[in-house]
Amino acid sequence: MTTPFPFTAVVGQDDLRLALLLNAVSPAVGGVLVRGEKGTAKSTAVRALSALLPEVAVVPGCRFSCDPAAPDPGCPDGPHEAGNGVDRPARMVELPVGASEDRLVGALDIERALAEGVKAFEPGLLAEAHRGILYVDEVNLLHDHLVDLLLDAAAMGASYVEREGVSVRHAARFLLVGTMNPEEGELRPQLLDRFGLTVEVAASREPDQRVEVVKRRLAYDADPAAFAARWAEEEAAVRQRIAAARALLPQVRLGDGALRQIAATCAAFEVDGMRADIVMARTATALAAWAGRTDVLAEDVRQAALLALPHRRRRNPFDAPGLDEDKLDETLEEFSGESPDDDPGPDGGGGGGGGQPAPDAGPQGGDTGARPEEGEGGQPQPSGAQEQPAARASEPFRTKALSVPGIGEGAAGRRSRARTEHGRTTGARRPQGALTKLHLAATVQAAAPHQRARGRSGPGLVIRRDDLRQAAREGREGNLVLFVVDASGSMAARQRMGAVKGAVLSLLLDAYQRRDKVGLVTFRGSAADVALPPTSSVDAAAARLESLPTGGRTPLAAGLLKAHEVLRVERLRDPARRALVVVVTDGRATGGPEPVALASRAARLFAAEGIASVVVDCESGPVRLGLVGQLAADLGGTAVTLDELRADSIAGLVKDVQGASRRAA
């Protein structure tokens, strides 16, 4: 067995360590979401935590870790008699991003259930994690159907496995810990709210601290056992402190004054629902116990707010997480005199008193044409016009859905029709591999003609493997939405570019809600650039768009060819994911010989391959050339103006996209 990196040997990352330790003291806090760039010891710290948790008593031989003092009456391995158990270390179970539903919740043998009436159940990861830690690395990349199962288990403290009326239930209470890199995409709000605390981590910029990180990592890699032995005393001290804090926790008093501060803080930051208030109360109590106190102070409330509220106050994907600490301090001060029980305590920027472990004990592993560009209203711009500063985007707005025609087989999402493992049943087929969704009627129909030949004598059917039928289902998939944005001088008028950015941000918000991947190609001057390769991070796309400069000529052909190359590479990486190309331009093409003809030929590549496309027409002013309509025809797609993108008339756009694609085919 590999020796884990010691928790106390992790350098820095005080907030991360504190959040994990508070959950070790009080699992009711609700888990931790760790957000940060790669290489910041997120996984190292989480994996090291399990070694510090107290042992748990379990019923001997129970696969579901029942507590011998209060065994689960519905345990599939039960019933158990209350009595003495055996102690074992607390488990940390890792959920792979690509895990199947059966691996998570367990597998029920449908064939034996139908033929013999036997509930033959193989427990999954939820059963293994009961009374321990369930760790999900890259939790933001988890498939939606697995997220739904996690939400159900976290809410009910139990897992239900059902297959055509045959069901198994078992307890599943666990500490949920997730790590993620925000550049790879955000979490669904429902799952985000299920994490009690969240912390942002980043690599230190202090040379001395970075040197210490490297030294410790090299020492651990050279001899893990010896390195762990060097930190055994510190590990034992933290383990004892956790046990002492757990014992003290029931005695901690949460006064009315602290409760009013918690309620006022949650109201001031306009968080949704009441879960934030409850989590803050539990966190503040755990902080007091960790500090060895029986009273909750204002400093505990402040630190609890910094850990429990940042991920709950986001109003949309483009809002940066975090809290206004000045506003937090003003709120706490305003309600500091509500009760004589609550001493406000020191203010400190990091929250703390004894609430945070000491840093020294802490955790971490060429265009030569002379043709002028046209600006707003057809006014000429010198060809050598300088780059314009980035325009601010207008306020995003809600858009109607665009979809790719036909039926795909891509990753689960909410945009286009697809054959999926989840959704409405549309038919039946023979299973390929393990049976996951039984089509009962089709299975019975397949088995019925053979009952006499199989010697059926009782009331039950004689079922063979060949009789089983898998339900064919239709749901929704996520697509690759590739934005191709004109950033040339003809688009540089600040009012127009602000409206363009607002429209693209609106479509990005729609892509976030529909679980799409997004990419961004821009073109200006004499070339096109991939501003953002295809990613699940809508935040990253919005940031690149916000800082997008404008100016220069309009190499429309280069932009389309670059987009075509991006799609070609992405098809090799993810062949099942279908693309929707959104071209944002006024349709002008300048620079080089025959720029309009080149753009037309590039556009016809998309039509020839049946790639769904929409052109957002940004042309404005008294001089209108109407070039976007021809571009949309060459692409085999449809055109829509910025005004139509906002209006109810966009409801017919999906039909236009589908109709244009069928005509191109």
Secondary element (H or E) of residue 222: helix 207-222
Q: What's the pLDDT score for residue 166?
A: 65
Q: What's the pLDDT score for residue 453?
A: 87
| Pair (631, 492) in one structural domain | yes
Say if 405 falls within a structural domain: no
Q: What's the pLDDT score for residue 115?
A: 62
CATH number for the domain including 112?
Answer: 3.40.50.300
d(CA 46, CA 4): 10
Local confidence band at 325 (pLDDT 50, 70, 90 cut-offs) = confident
Q: What are 334-370's pLDDT values in tens digits?
A: 888 644 444 444 444 444 444 444 434 444 443 433 3
Is a pLDDT exceeding 60 seen at residue 292?
A: yes
| Pair (545, 627) in one structural domain | yes
| Pair (297, 441) in one structural domain | no
When pLDDT is averaged across residues 4-32 and rounded to a whole number, the result is 90
Q: What's the pLDDT score for residue 186?
A: 74
Is a pLDDT exceeding 90 seen at residue 319?
A: no
d(CA 347, CA 300): 10
When pLDDT is averaged across residues 456-478 and rounded to a whole number, the result is 81
Q: What's the pLDDT score for residue 383?
A: 39
Closest CA to 105 of 174, 159, 141: 159
Contact by Cβ (8 Å): 399, 507: yes
Closest CA to 133 of 178, 93, 76: 93
Local confidence band at 74 (pLDDT 50, 70, 90 cut-offs) = confident
**Ramachandran bin of 602, using left for φ above 0, alpha for ψ from -120 to 50, beta for the remaining angles:** alpha
| Pair (495, 522) in one structural domain | yes
Number of domains the chain is built from: 4
295: which strand partners?
253
Task: Give the domain-ending residue among 314, 337, 366.
Answer: 314
CATH number for the domain including 295?
Answer: 1.10.8.80
| Pair (138, 200) in one structural domain | yes
Say if 525 falls within a structural domain: yes
Contact by Cβ (8 Å): 588, 490: yes
| Pair (21, 139) in one structural domain | yes
d(CA 121, CA 541): 45
Say if 15 falls within a structural domain: yes
Q: What's the pLDDT score for residue 321?
A: 65
| Pair (575, 542) in one structural domain | yes
Q: What's the pLDDT score for residue 161?
A: 81
Q: What are 368-396's pLDDT values in tens digits?
A: 333 344 443 344 444 334 556 667 777 77
| Pair (431, 489) in one structural domain | no
Q: What's the pLDDT score for residue 118?
A: 65
Say if 141 falls within a structural domain: yes
Which DSSP state fits 295? B
Tell me the two tokens of residue 216.
Answer: 């410790």
Say if 60 falls within a structural domain: no
| Pair (255, 127) in one structural domain | no
Q: What's the pLDDT score for residue 288?
A: 95
* Higher per-residue confidence, 388 vs 173: 173
Local confidence band at 452 (pLDDT 50, 70, 90 cut-offs) = confident
Task: Give the domain-ending residue among 437, 456, 477.
Answer: 477
Distances (CA, A) of 103 to 14, 121, 122, 180, 271: 34, 12, 9, 21, 35
Say if 642 falls within a structural domain: yes
Q: What are 23-54's pLDDT values in tens digits?
A: 999 988 988 998 887 778 888 888 888 888 88
Say if 424 falls within a structural domain: yes
* Catalytic annotation, pick one of 112, 210, 275, 646: 275
When pLDDT is averaged across residues 316-334 and rounded to a whole number, the result is 78
Query: What's the chain's average pLDDT?
Result: 80
Distances (CA, A) of 189 to 150, 268, 313, 505: 13, 20, 11, 19
Contact by Cβ (8 Å): 101, 149: yes
Tell me the two tokens of residue 425.
Answer: 């049943």
Local confidence band at 592 (pLDDT 50, 70, 90 cut-offs) = confident
| The three-state (H, E, C) secondary structure of 418-440, written as one string | EEECCCEEEEEECCCCCCCCECH
Q: What's the pLDDT score for residue 566?
A: 94
Burial category of 622 from C-beta neighbours within 10 Å (exposed 0-12, middle 13-18, buried 19 and up): exposed
Contact by Cβ (8 Å): 77, 171: no
Task: Give the domain-ending residue among 188, 205, 222.
Answer: 205
Q: What's the pLDDT score for residue 361?
A: 41
| The three-state (H, E, C) secondary structure of 349-415, written as one string | CCCCHHHCCCHHHCCCCCCCCCCCEECHHHCEECCCCCCECCCCCCCCCCCCCCCCCCCECCCEEEE
Which DSSP state fits 332? H
Closest CA to 163 of 399, 508, 434, 367: 434
d(CA 542, CA 185): 12
When pLDDT is averaged across residues 308-326 and rounded to a whole number, the result is 74
Contact by Cβ (8 Å): 122, 450: no
Name, in order, each residue with C-beta under 8 angstroms of 353's C-beta and a sequence gap of 6 or more. Answer: 291, 297, 299, 300, 345, 346
| The three-state (H, E, C) secondary structure of 474-496, written as one string | EEEECCEEEEEEECCHHHCCHHH
The SS3 call for residue 135 is strand
| Pair (635, 605) in one structural domain | yes
Local confidence band at 598 (pLDDT 50, 70, 90 cut-offs) = very high
Tell me the two tokens of residue 87.
Answer: 């102690």
| Pair (183, 276) in one structural domain | no
pTM: 0.68
Closest CA to 611 of 400, 399, 405, 401: 405
When pLDDT is averaged across residues 395-405 and rounded to a whole number, the result is 75
| Pair (450, 309) in one structural domain | no
Burial category of 162 from C-beta neighbours within 10 Å (exposed 0-12, middle 13-18, buried 19 and up): exposed
Say if 390 falls within a structural domain: no
CATH number for the domain including 497?
Answer: 3.40.50.410
Helix 325-334, helix 298-308: angle, nearest 10: 140
Q: Which of 141-145, 203-207, 210-214 has the highest mean pLDDT?
A: 210-214
What residues make up the domain containing 182?
7-54+90-205
The answer to whether the Cα torsion of 624, 627, 633, 637 is positive or negative is negative
Distances (CA, A) of 518 to 147, 521, 611: 21, 10, 15
Let me know if 494 is a catalytic residue: no
When pLDDT is averaged across residues 628-646 and rounded to a whole number, the result is 86
Q: What's the pLDDT score for residue 316?
A: 61
